[in-house]
Amino acid sequence: MTTRLQILGTGCPKCRLLTEHTESAARELGLDYELEKVTELDRILDFGVVATPALVVDGEIRVFGHVPSTTRLKELLAGAGAPPA
């Protein structure tokens, strides 16, 4: 199952860093993923996010307002893409 990752942000340096860290974490975990960068303010607001950058994993907001380390992102993504128990 492909994990859907969305980075919400306007393209600022923190948004780019979150994208880099997220892709690194997903690759290190061997996730089958699809990444979308959501830069349109209206779409970002539709998620209910008030601080960017943000990371949405399979429709669920997992991070917002800061850039976690790659290690922390690996922890957040570890269960993504796995079939439900």
Question: In this predicted structure, what is the pLDDT of residue 40?
Answer: 95
Among the options 5, 7, 8, 15, which is catalytic?
A: 15
Strand, helix or coil at 7? strand
The average pLDDT across 4-19 equals 96
Q: What is the dihedral of CA 14, 17, 21, 24, to 10 degrees?
A: 160
- CA 62/CA 77 separation, integer angstroms: 9
82 inside domain? no
56 inside domain? yes
pTM of the complete model: 0.89
21 inside domain? yes
Averaged pLDDT score across all residues of the chain:
91
84 inside domain? no
Structure tokens belonging to residue 84: 């439900």
The average pLDDT across 69-74 equals 94
Q: Are 38 and 53 in contact (CB under 8 A)?
A: no
Among the options 2, 11, 12, 43, which is catalytic?
A: 12
Told to judge if 15 belongs to the known catalytic residues of this protein, a careful annotator would answer yes
Question: In this predicted structure, what is the pLDDT of residue 85?
Answer: 35
Domain residue limits at 15: 3-77
Question: In this predicted structure, what is the pLDDT of residue 65?
Answer: 96
Count of structural domains, the chain: 1
In percent, how much of the chain has pLDDT > 90? Answer: 88
Told to judge if 74 belongs to the known catalytic residues of this protein, a careful annotator would answer no
| Domain at 49, CATH number | 3.40.30.10
